[in-house]
Amino acid sequence: MLIRGLLVMLAISSAWAVASLPAQAVGSCPSGTSSVTGPGGGIICVTAADPGTQGTVGTTADNESEATAAPSGCFRHNGQRVPCESQYGVWFSGHECYAEPFDAPPGSPVWQGHSDGSTWTCSDCGVAANTNTCNVQLVWTAPGTNPGPPDPGELAQQAMGTLRLATAEVHTAPQFPARSFVGVENWLWVPRSQWATLSKTVTAGGTSVTVTARPERVTWSTGAGSKVCYDAGRAWSAGMTDAARTSCGYTYRVTSESVPEGEFVLSAAIGYQVDWVCMGTCTTSSGSLGLITAPAGTGRLRVLQRQTVVVQ
């Protein structure tokens, strides 16, 4: 650490090795991009792998073509894998060093004439003759272009925001306007086409996060109770016999005569288990966003009481 401290002082007094980076609006990302948090807490614009290039806006990819698997982690330009974080900071791929915030005095050469942005120590340390040696330089980054890979969890949230979760299309048997009766099992289902796995990929520079949402349950509100089914349910079709069975049904114990319009309002919402994996430059290889419920679809059903006729 003493050697590292001396080298930092040497860099301040003489070397002033700096990165030439484009300026951006203070405290914001360019129009058309979004910001994510790096491991050190800094904000990174979702544009390119290194702060030194303008790059392209973070993109998404549908699940029609699966993302090609690639090693995750941080790497030198020669392909050598390195930790994404160390005692010296976060990996700064553009300079192949570990960056930590450094409070350079105003007007110092490292600021390159700017008054905004951030300054960093950038350390590349190794072992020689049983002694840790560090090559330390000082670098400046424009606002929103801090070192380090983005937080894959934030990219996962962005990818999730682009997924079009299915709004359940409510089907029942009997189907409104046909009437049902107290004590009769009503079949409940959503189309099989809505019981589909969805996937989306967001890329920020060398980091790609793929989110996968798998349908896990349908939560039904029947107007008189609730029901959770763990598949889409079985669709009823004309010609089925009384022996036919469904995996998702509900039997009313009361009529709908006392509710507005004399009809129960039903709703169904598909719950998706959402997980993500990170490829490329990743501080974490995988994670989960948990169970996310899609918007609910609605339907109606009139439930009556059967009249018993006694014939003598």
Choose among 178, 175, 104: nearest CA to 141: 104
Q: What is the pLDDT of residue 64?
A: 36
In a domain, 247, yes or no: yes
Q: Are residues 296 and 159 in the same domain?
A: yes
Q: Are residues 176 and 277 in the same domain?
A: yes
What range defines the domain where residue 188 resides?
Answer: 152-304
Query: Is the distance from CB of 167 to CB of 294 less than 8 angstroms?
Result: yes
Q: Which of 94, 120, 141 is the last residue of a domain?
A: 141
CA separation for the pair 185, 214 (Å, rounded): 28
CB within 8 Å of 312: residues ≥ 6 apart:
none
- Is the pTM here over 0.85, yes or no? no
- Please give the chain's pLDDT, 312 residues, in tens: 333 333 333 333 333 333 333 333 334 444 544 444 444 444 443 322 222 322 222 333 444 334 344 456 777 777 788 888 888 888 887 778 888 898 988 888 889 888 898 898 888 887 666 666 788 888 888 887 777 777 889 899 999 999 999 999 999 999 999 999 999 999 999 999 999 999 999 987 778 899 999 999 999 999 999 999 999 999 999 888 888 999 999 999 999 999 989 999 999 999 999 999 998 878 788 999 999 999 999 999 999 998 665 555
Q: Which of 141, 173, 198 is the last residue of a domain?
A: 141
In a domain, 147, yes or no: no
In a domain, 312, yes or no: no
DSSP helix, strand, coil percent of the chain (3-state; round to 5): 10, 40, 50
Q: Are residues 36 and 158 in the same domain?
A: no
In a domain, 190, yes or no: yes
Q: Are residues 10 and 70 in the same domain?
A: yes
Choose among 59, 62, 64, 92: nearest CA to 77: 92
Q: Which of 98, 121, 141 is the last residue of a domain?
A: 141
Q: Looking at residue 72, what DSSP letter applies?
A: B
Domain count across the chain = 2
